[in-house]
Amino acid sequence: MTFSKASAVTGGPGRWRAELAEGWDIFGISNGGYLLSIITRAMGEEADGREPISVTGHFLNPATPGQVDIDVETLKKGRGLTTMRSTMSGADKPLLVATAVFAAHERGSHRSELVLPAPPDIPDPSECVLAEPSDSAPFPPPFTGKVEVRIHPEDAAALLGEKTGRPRMRGWFRLRDHEPLDAFAVILASDAFPPAIFNTELPLRWTPTIDLTVQIRQPRPAGWLRCRFCTRFITDGMLEEDGEIWDEDGRPVALSRQLALVPH
């Protein structure tokens, strides 16, 4: 199943439905980036062709494959920006609350005016480690079979039974079968890699997301996405993960920040 089909929404306006697909999960719990892409797609259906530039999701309860309802509310529609809020609910409980900002003007064609960090230096995708679902180990999870994630050989140590001690994950991302990328796929990419803290002494276990923000600078990148995710603070049972997503030519595509619980 393609990503566009697995994240499709129907219905509207105001009330949308989606079917959380099997396999887009972390051992039964739907991937957070997958959920955020779906709820953003529902809001986008009511944004009159505007594209998302920022979305924040607050994860309330774990989601599992099956039907969900998405209620969408427009908070403000201006000449250039539209702000929306939505709630995704399962059969008996809310799963995710999100707010998003959509832009009316053409995006992705303007040159960068200030970009201080350099894109991550990553070997060619063919020289990186392909993350594939494992039947005998905690990671990689089933979700990795739905996308193509190739991890920098140094950072893939956590998946090979070794750890670098540096909470960092770098690598390449694209959809399977060369499916074109869009803003919703960029949101998906922001949560597609193993947590950076897997290269520390913390266990390789589920790391529940509390909230995830994605700021999209280039909504229609082509080819591979060059990704870098790092964690700097692990305090009081919580951690942050900062993400940078670039295109093949070294132009910034998106920035992300995730707050999550430390695995025990």
Q: Is 236 inside any structural domain?
A: yes
Question: Letter for the amino acid at 237?
Answer: G
| pLDDT score recorded for residue 138 | 57
Res. 223: pLDDT tops 80: yes
Q: Is 113 inside any structural domain?
A: no
In this prediction, residues 185-197 reach a mean pLDDT of 96
**Euclidean distance between CA atoms 171 and 158, whole angstroms:** 14
**Euclidean distance between CA atoms 245 and 259, whole angstroms:** 18
- Residues 157-175: pLDDT tens digits? 877 778 888 999 999 999 9
Cβ neighbours for 86, distance < 8 A, ≥ 6 positions apart: 39, 42, 43, 70, 71, 72, 73, 97, 98, 99, 100
| pLDDT score recorded for residue 253 | 97
Q: Is 112 inside any structural domain?
A: no
Torsion sign over Cα 233, 234, 236, 241: positive
Length in residues, the chain: 264
For residue 152, give both structure tokens: 């920098």
**Euclidean distance between CA atoms 150 and 132, whole angstroms:** 9
Q: Where does the pLDDT of residue 156 fall: very low under 50, low under 70, confident under 90, or very high at 90 and above? A: very high
For residue 249, give both structure tokens: 């030519």
| pLDDT score recorded for residue 137 | 57
Q: Is 116 inside any structural domain?
A: no
Beta-bridge partners for 51: 103
Q: How many domains is the chain partitioned into structurally?
A: 1
| pLDDT score recorded for residue 158 | 78
Q: Is 110 inside any structural domain?
A: no
Q: Where does the pLDDT of residue 27 fall: very low under 50, low under 70, confident under 90, or very high at 90 and above? A: confident
Give the count of beta carbons closer than 10 Å to the beta carbon of residue 185: 24
Torsion sign over Cα 49, 53, 54, 55: positive
Helices and strands in the chain: count of H runs, count of E runs: 3, 16
Q: Is 26 inside any structural domain?
A: yes
Q: Give the domain range for residue 79.
A: 3-105+122-261
- Residues 36-56: pLDDT tens digits? 999 999 999 999 889 999 999
200 Rama class: left (phi>0) / alpha (psi -120 to 50) / beta: beta
- Residues 134-147: pLDDT tens digits? 765 556 778 999 99
Q: What is the CATH number of the domain that holds 59?
A: 2.40.160.210
Q: Is 46 inside any structural domain?
A: yes
